[in-house]
Structure 1
Amino acid sequence: MAAPISPEAGIELLDYVSADGPRLVEMTPEAELALRIEEPDLKIVPVVRYRTMKMQHRILREASASVRTTRSAAANLFVKDTDGNPIPGAQVIAFTNFRTKAGDEGISDDQGRVRLRIAKGTSLDRIYVYGPPTYWGHSARRYELVSNATVALESVDLRRASLALNRFRAGIPVDAGTNVIVGIVDTGIARDHPLLPNVSGGANMVSEETRDDPGRINEWGPAAVDGEHGTHVAGIVGARPTADIPLSGVAPGVTLRSYRVFPHSGEGAINYDIMNAIDRAVQDGCHIINLSLGGGAEDEAVRAAIGSALSRGVIVIAAAGNDGRKPVSFPAALPFCIAVSAMGRRDSFPQVSTEALDIAAPFGANDSFVGAFSNFGPQIDLTGPGVGVVSTLPGATYGPMSGTSMATPAVAGYAAFLLASNNTIFQQIDENRSRALTDALFEAARAVGFGRDYEGFGLPGQG
């Protein structure tokens, strides 16, 4: 590069991986213009932030202020189990107006109590209760917030045959995915989960954390904020059941690697870090890369990294997005990225759980539906179980989550099963392997009945 990179030139170098590779810089608009003139062939890509594709309803802070009331008039709501015992740590989200996202929220205390700053007797538009680990949530429309109202949560029965993953992986051997390495580019994976002994390591790819302390590259465990997401995704791909916790991922024989791109601060992941994580996963020998993230504007950095991965024989599977029937998000929208929508079945979760309000058309065979949150469009390649999927969580526990974030690793696990089962494909190299594995994955799919833009080739396996 002929142009200088220095504060004097209006350009500050923040991070780089190699001398001739991409660089993360901060520059003034004037410096960018000068650089484009001096180096017309240079690609200058703005920083783009991505979010995880886990579905959870939120209150809009600016809207909630109008519904809050005085402490003396606030309503108490109690969260208990089906035996009447209090449940601490449940998140209650009460909407007085769901369309504008107005309402209030809180976390249950040791008595299972949540104090909502909404007047007693208010008729709520909707209420969502997200249970702590091992519990289903609860949801309702037009809920009367009576004095000392109580919500009962049902515990998760891992042996229930209709659970999303139990149904999806039916007929798949317990050692499925042996010798296959799956890279999880996400919020980090718990190091000590008893169901995830197959995590072989990884890297902290958050440049803002490792820039001044390279030793922090080993911090590939869960991010401090919302870090449970990556552990849940990893468990869907390859959790190995134990006698105490009979929970199995789709391909328990896989080796998992954790590439954390979401910072401890809770902010979104930037494209520079995602690009480097994809490159690192390829260098580390991953055969499949899972991207349960998206939502940012299309950028050349992530596009190039995914294209490079495919040329090296690595397939990249990405979440379609959770924007409620909006177009497929980037990077899933790329033609060479496998885009996955989220489907569910009515009998895979309790009918009063938070998942019940995600039942929406189109409907397919065997009481199936496309999650109300799932994006759709001609870029969709496959659908996967993404509503009420039970998987691993930090703290040696488990629980349900919903989102195209969950459907994506289910498909990634199935791809690992196919790759391990077909030595002809496994032994191929470069783009021949990625093309052959993609074709095998599409051929294994069966139409559910949602239509092309909602399911692509359909649902892999018998799921």
Structure 2
Amino acid sequence: MPKHTKSAAGEAQETPDATPATGGNGSKRTAAEGARDSGADSAAASAAAIARGRPVAERKKKYLVAPRTAPGGAFGVSSWAAPLGLSAVQQALNALPDIDVVDTIATRGGMAPAGFGPASMGDATDGVVVARMTDQKAGELLQRGQGQLLVERDQHLELLDPMLRRPDLVSSLTPYQGPQAELLLAVVGSGGAPLPEVEVSLFGGALPSTAVTGPDGVARLRLYGEDAHTISGLYVKPRTDYWSLYQRDPDLSLDEPNVVMLRPLADWPALRGMPQQSAMGWGARAMRLDQVPQQFRGRGVKVAVIDSGAATTHDNLNQIRAGFDVINKKVDRSTWNVDTLGHGSHCAGVIAAADPAWGIRGFAPEAEIHVCKLFPGGQVSQLIDALEYCIEQGIDVVNMSLGGSSPSEALERQIVRAKQAGVACIAAAGNSAAAVQYPGSSPHVLAVAAIGKIGEFPPDSYHAETIGSDVDMQGYFTARFSCFGPQVDVCAPGVAVVSSVPPNNFAAWDGTSMAAPHVTGLAALVLAHRPEFQSMALPRSPERVERLFQVLRMSARPVTLSDPNRIGYGLPDALVALGLPVAQPGMAWQAVSAGFGIPAGMFAAALGDGARMGMGMGMGVGTGPAGTNAPGQAVAMQYPFGGLRPSGW
């Protein structure tokens, strides 16, 4: 009789009685003989299975295939030359060998215009066909499509931030119970000196891991799993004075310490000798601050930096005398000069770093800087309080490198109130690679997106991970993390921006937080030195704020290959914004204007001799004598860049 037992799952199972095996003639067989015969049978079965198997080849992956609207004639003759609809693409894929159509997702909301392709016959052109194929087959299909087919990998999605996710923000739902190992990573700087307080992160494997180097420069990381080959990324982030490092698929050892040598910021050609020898950041040079006369230093203008404070221990920031610790006002409102995060100090340095013989040159080193400390822990109510301080102090320009999860009616009312008092608010667009965050999305602020430039940072630094796909001939690109949308007014350098951090050091940081201060600094120069803002024709008022924003927008030149949703009007030009003569009579970026829906040369044709004399788009904002309306102003307003809000025009 069989015995009934319970499995681990609690289900009844039958097991045979433990009776000796017998041969065909009824004689008893030993266990060894049975095992030997069983082994022989298993080997024979395995050999038969191998013979029936299939050779290992490249696995088919899911790809998305969709029609494009480009006319076939522009791409030569091919079997795909006629405009295609979604159903035609599906039929063609079904007819091709080694391609398995998995699904067809048609979106009926979008149809091609009448007379342009199959939509005029009632065939939906929007949608995708999902098909399995090898990478080689996908490449052949893309080539055969001759520009009329979209062929791209159906990527796996993860819940990740657009920037490199910090491991200490990643949590596992269940404790890890598998094997673990310790990995040692030593970080050294100039001359092999150990670098303390460097954040080291490993990605890949069972779980990410992070550690900070000690006084000996060694970080001890817990590797979840026993194989270092599972690590897909190594991120080394120094606190100050060195470039970061990001290594994909690093070759790491568990048997001996791994060594990473970081490059000092001052070794980079554009920063040679910094800080003993004064340097100008690449962003300021891109906006042509280096061509602005030395006497343009922002004297007489008040700028507020609402951020994490500003460390006046820094030799570039020790000229700052005024501030307000909003979050600590009930205890000591004078502690605005303690910056535990370094963020506010970095922004303040871009705007107004002062010592021309040491460190980094800011845009407006003689502007009167007010620091409103709001972080860590700031809330909307405290931002309203900070803006009230700005109104009371007669601040001209406010830098807000901050954002919230959703709009606030109360804050919006205060922003409007500040504008009514002549306070111009300039805000970062946000770093979530999504819609512009609030308050950058407010129609009453100037929203700044972030761009970078190839060649302004080491290619093995983490800054290289921010490069978008829209690099132009000059190397400009939109930062992958930068928020976008019709609310973006202008863009500014926000990748590998070197500026001041506590206590008396420098760091290269990324973010729209770094882009906004570039525009704030230029705004201070415009208010201080552009004649029309010095006349009684523009007293402190909302009209003055809008005029300032208009000058900044219309001084901008298109950069990168992106549309206005990502760069707004483009990168502001200090010479044009200040109404100064432009060295090059023929601006190279005028030819790029066609990408914005504006015919190349339109500005020169519309503005007449002024544009040919080198004033460029500056004529569109009244670069003539103070108080006059330049002839090009009306022309520029008749041709707004598509998708941009008028914002009070």
Query: Smaller-chain TM-score range?
Result: 0.7 to 0.9
Matches within 5 A, 1:44-443: 57-59=165-167, 60-63=169-172, 73-81=181-189, 83-96=191-204, 102-118=207-223, 119=226, 121-147=228-254, 148-157=257-266, 158-159=271-272, 163-168=282-287, 169-174=289-294, 175-206=296-327, 209-211=328-330, 213=331, 216-224=332-340, 227-243=341-357, 245-262=358-375, 266-267=376-377, 269-324=378-433, 326-427=434-535, 428-429=538-539, 430-443=541-554
Contact 1:123–1:145 under 8 Å retained in 2: no
SS in 2 for 1:257: strand
Counterpart amino acid of 1:255? Answer: E
Q: TM-score, normalised by structure 2?
A: 0.57
SS in 1 for 2:192: coil
In structure 2, do the counterparts of structure 1 residues 365 and 460 end up closer, same or farther at CA, with 3 Å as the change threshold?
farther
Distance in 2 (CA, whole Å) between partners of 1:280 and 1:253 is 21
In structure 2, do the counterparts of structure 1 residues 56 and 399 end up closer, same or farther at CA, with 3 Å as the change threshold?
farther
SS in 1 for 2:250: strand
Contact 1:120–1:145 under 8 Å retained in 2: no
Counterpart amino acid of 2:482? Answer: S
In structure 2, do the counterparts of structure 1 residues 364 and 336 end up closer, same or farther at CA, with 3 Å as the change threshold?
farther
Counterpart amino acid of 1:247? Answer: I
- Residue 15 of structure 2 is matched in structure 1 by none
In structure 2, do the counterparts of structure 1 residues 426 and 300 end up closer, same or farther at CA, with 3 Å as the change threshold?
farther
Contact 1:391–1:399 under 8 Å retained in 2: yes
- Residue 556 of structure 2 is matched in structure 1 by 445
- Residue 28 of structure 1 is matched in structure 2 by none
Contact 2:339–2:345 under 8 Å retained in 1: no
Contact 2:292–2:574 under 8 Å retained in 1: no
Deviation, 1:125, is 2.1
Deviation, 1:69, is 7.3
The structure with the greater share of residues assigned to helix is 2
Distance in 2 (CA, whole Å) between partners of 1:234 and 1:327 is 26
Deviation track 1:6-60 (CA, whole Å, cap 9, x = no partner) reads: xxxxxxxxxxxxxxxxxxxxxxxxxxxxxxxxxxxxxxxxxxxxxxxx9774123
Counterpart amino acid of 1:250? Answer: F
Deviation, 1:432, is 2.2
Counterpart amino acid of 2:221? Answer: L
Contact 1:77–1:149 under 8 Å retained in 2: yes
In structure 2, do the counterparts of structure 1 residues 56 and 311 end up closer, same or farther at CA, with 3 Å as the change threshold?
farther
SS in 1 for 2:202: strand
Deviation, 1:84, is 2.5
Distance in 2 (CA, whole Å) between partners of 1:357 and 1:350 is 11
In structure 2, do the counterparts of structure 1 residues 220 and 82 end up closer, same or farther at CA, with 3 Å as the change threshold?
closer
Counterpart amino acid of 1:235? Answer: G
Deviation track 1:214-246 (CA, whole Å, cap 9, x = no partner) reads: xx111112344xx21000010011101353x33
Deviation, 1:121, is 2.0
In structure 2, do the counterparts of structure 1 residues 397 and 361 end up closer, same or farther at CA, with 3 Å as the change threshold?
same
Distance in 2 (CA, whole Å) between partners of 1:69 and 1:288 is 55
Deviation, 1:192, is 2.4
In structure 2, do the counterparts of structure 1 residues 201 and 462 end up closer, same or farther at CA, with 3 Å as the change threshold?
closer
Contact 1:55–1:403 under 8 Å retained in 2: no
Contact 1:164–1:348 under 8 Å retained in 2: no
Counterpart amino acid of 2:424? Answer: I
Deviation, 1:91, is 0.9
In structure 2, do the counterparts of structure 1 residues 435 and 153 end up closer, same or farther at CA, with 3 Å as the change threshold?
same
Deviation, 1:337, is 1.1
Distance in 2 (CA, whole Å) between partners of 1:110 and 1:340 is 39
Deviation, 1:134, is 1.0
Distance in 2 (CA, whole Å) between partners of 1:366 and 1:444 is 19
Distance in 2 (CA, whole Å) between partners of 1:440 and 1:461 is 10
Q: TM-score, normalised by structure 1?
A: 0.80
Distance in 2 (CA, whole Å) between partners of 1:70 and 1:204 is 48
Distance in 2 (CA, whole Å) between partners of 1:203 and 1:421 is 27
Contact 1:78–1:151 under 8 Å retained in 2: yes
Deviation, 1:278, is 1.0
Query: Which protein is bigger by CA-based radius of gyration?
Result: 2
SS in 2 for 1:62: coil
Q: Which one is further off, 78-87 or 368-377? A: 78-87
Contact 1:64–1:104 under 8 Å retained in 2: no
Deviation, 1:288, is 0.2
Contact 2:555–2:572 under 8 Å retained in 1: yes
Contact 1:74–1:120 under 8 Å retained in 2: no
Query: Which 5+ residue runs of structure 2 have no aligned equivalent?
Result: 1-161, 273-278, 576-649
- Residue 18 of structure 1 is matched in structure 2 by none
Distance in 1 (CA, whole Å) between partners of 2:364 and 2:525 is 6
Deviation track 1:393-444 (CA, whole Å, cap 9, x = no partner) reads: 1111111111000000011011111111213224422112111111111121
Deviation, 1:185, is 0.5
Distance in 1 (CA, whole Å) between partners of 2:360 and 2:422 is 31
Deviation, 1:197, is 3.1
State the structure with bigger RCO (CA 8 A, min sep 6), 1 or 2: 1
Deviation, 1:177, is 1.5
Contact 2:430–2:483 under 8 Å retained in 1: yes
SS in 1 for 2:290: coil
Deviation, 1:79, is 0.9
Distance in 1 (CA, whole Å) between partners of 2:177 and 2:419 is 52
Deviation track 1:81-117 (CA, whole Å, cap 9, x = no partner) reads: 25322211211122117xx9x4111111122111110
The structure with the greater share of residues assigned to strand is 1
Task: Establish whether residue 454 from structure 1 lines up as the match of residue 563 from structure 2.
Answer: no
Distance in 2 (CA, whole Å) between partners of 1:68 and 1:288 is 55
Q: Identity over aligned residues, as a percent?
A: 29
